[in-house]
Structure 1
């Protein structure tokens, strides 16, 4: 080992530590900047409480995205699945008087059905996942508009609303804690179970994984179904947060969730999609949008922010991982 290598190792270690937590640091700086600019309105616990609850569905959507991404597939239909789930609850519970628990169960089952539908075309018919999920987004959106007559459905059972957002712990609605529990469960699966390691192995090389005895197709099917169920769960949270079912606005979470999925792969565990990083990224982006909105910016700036954040996040993610994007299969 040459003498020039010795002083470089601590510097490399420090850079790795900085890379792991840089996004958290930038998030804190962003909070500080908005707090100094708007101390009477932004820097209030009530504002953060609303932020944590309102972006809980986006946090679940980011999880729904990173599960198939880890195995090398894209799911662009998570926003449509969220909308389908929330509107099923509204239609069944409000229009047809189906008990709220049964309505929630049917909504989650719809997530399973969406995941299996995607798996049929992606895994068995070998259609690229981008094509299949983009097509199913339009298909599901049309079904939702037909099902709801393109109208917002209010009057969802208060039992769901109270279970999701009515109760609070430390002043924060339960919706945030449901998302947090999902993040911790998925983090445990990804980092501490053989299943998580096999998923990562499949995403980084399907043929190599197959030669090592991993059931690649089964892993991909499971990831797509899990994505559908998690997205449907986000729809349940969404219906509880709003207290109604909107056939359009759920798709607004899609770009922030995708940006968070890729931006999250640059923090906590840089180089791979990870649940903790995704959640940090969701609330980093949510803080930026909330602060800019409180400044009174025009609506188009939010779209620019979300689109720019997605492009920047994917670019940084690619540079951090130092490899090509997962195969689109």
Structure 2
């Protein structure tokens, strides 16, 4: 008699939660690029609904130009979120920065390049102070930055005496206003500022150790401290980068407005956080990231432009932003929880190259 063959080892069941299977790949693809697909869908819908006004070069130029400052500010808000903090002072800082530029150029008669440099450096200093207050003062970032933002708003009112800074009959230097009004390759130059800034942040956060450490700090500060990552240092660096970007946004806003308005910065606060939080649901769901932030800003820009061209009332803008913010927070939390559940990690994203840092918790709590 022939001996029966040895029993074969039981096969490991193929579960949809294991990396590399089609279920996870398809779900991850939809989560990563669904927001980008929504942008394309909105463009198609508004183009068919408004064929004479929406699908035009004028509309494209308007979106790229008017949404450049919200995009820059959304990127500024994103950096502290990566480190697990929130900077609510960015709107107040934007207002102070643009007023300071115009004050130095118009009232103090500084050369405009020196005024712009001083304001950008000032933004960096304010960011460092925010980080120091949060980390060394042990104050929650919501409360700390709300307090410093209120103080910046007071400084803005003191500088302007509650009024506006209006240039004289000669106006502002043309080279200064060209920072916002000029074009490059047929497109508004502010769009290229946004692109360069997004690429720089992507390189720092995704390709350099400092960015990967920031993600670890934002995911679990205690674990980061246990493995030797200086949590306070990286958090202060995140706030410093945010302040630096806000200072640059203030320069752009001054070149756009050409009038110092002490209350204009607050209008950009909610759109900035909507873009930053909604961006954490795209490209790399569950993690704040620069490309996702740009996609989120694009969705908001296309939606608001289409709604405006359809003749919507003025109150639809805050309604749209508020509803989108709630949706963004909910989706960001879901994306973070799903990322933890599936356990899809990439070795190239870890600080030491061994495993990906844990995903950041959803805003307002842990997954």
Instruction: Determine the structure 2 residue equivalent to 1:261.
Output: 276
Aligned match of 2:244 in 229, 243, 247? 229
Alignment of 1:212-251 (within 5 A): 212-251=227-266
**Structure 1 stretches lacking a partner, 5+ long:** none
Determine the C-alpha separation between the residues in 2 that align with 1:297 and 1:86: 30
Task: Confirm whether residue 86 of structure 1 aligns to residue 98 of structure 2.
Answer: yes
Task: Confirm whether residue 164 of structure 1 aligns to residue 180 of structure 2.
Answer: yes
Aligned match of 2:310 in 273, 295, 298? 295
Instruction: Determine the structure 2 residue equivalent to 1:194.
Output: 209
- Normalising to structure 2: TM-score of the pair? 0.85
Instruction: Determine the structure 1 residue equivalent to 2:30.
Output: 18
Structure with the greater alpha carbon radius of gyration:
2
Q: Deviations over 1:77-122 (max 9, x none)?
A: 1111111111111111012211101110111122122112212321
- Normalising to structure 1: TM-score of the pair? 0.94
Per-residue deviation at 1:6?
A: 7.8
Determine the C-alpha separation between the residues in 1 that align with 2:330 and 2:217: 23
1:76 alignment partner, SS class: coil
Per-residue deviation at 1:2?
A: 5.4
Task: Confirm whether residue 97 of structure 1 aligns to residue 109 of structure 2.
Answer: yes
Q: How many residues align?
A: 327
Q: Deviations over 1:261-295 (max 9, x none)?
A: 11111111111000010011112101111111122
The runs of at least 4 consecutive aligned structure 1 residues that moved more than 3 Å come to 1-8, 323-328
Instruction: Determine the structure 2 residue equivalent to 1:307.
Output: 322
More helix by share: 1
User: In terms of mean alpha carbon deviation, does 52-61 or 108-117 score higher?
Assistant: 108-117
User: In terms of mean alpha carbon deviation, does 205-214 or 180-189 score higher?
Assistant: 205-214
Determine the C-alpha separation between the residues in 2 that align with 1:233 and 1:36: 37
Instruction: Determine the structure 1 residue equivalent to 2:152.
Output: 140
Is the CA contact 1:210–1:216 (under 8 Å) kept in the aligned structure 2?
Answer: yes
Per-residue deviation at 1:198?
A: 0.7
Per-residue deviation at 1:72?
A: 1.2
Is the CA contact 1:73–1:327 (under 8 Å) kept in the aligned structure 2?
Answer: no
Give the RMSD, CA atoms, in angstroms. 1.9
Alignment of 1:51-66 (within 5 A): 51-66=63-78
Instruction: Determine the structure 2 residue equivalent to 1:185.
Output: 200
Is the CA contact 1:116–1:221 (under 8 Å) kept in the aligned structure 2?
Answer: yes
Determine the C-alpha separation between the residues in 2 that align with 1:207 and 1:199: 13
Q: Deviations over 1:148-192 (max 9, x none)?
A: 2233334432212113322x1232111110111000000011111
**Structure 2 stretches lacking a partner, 5+ long:** 1-10, 341-360
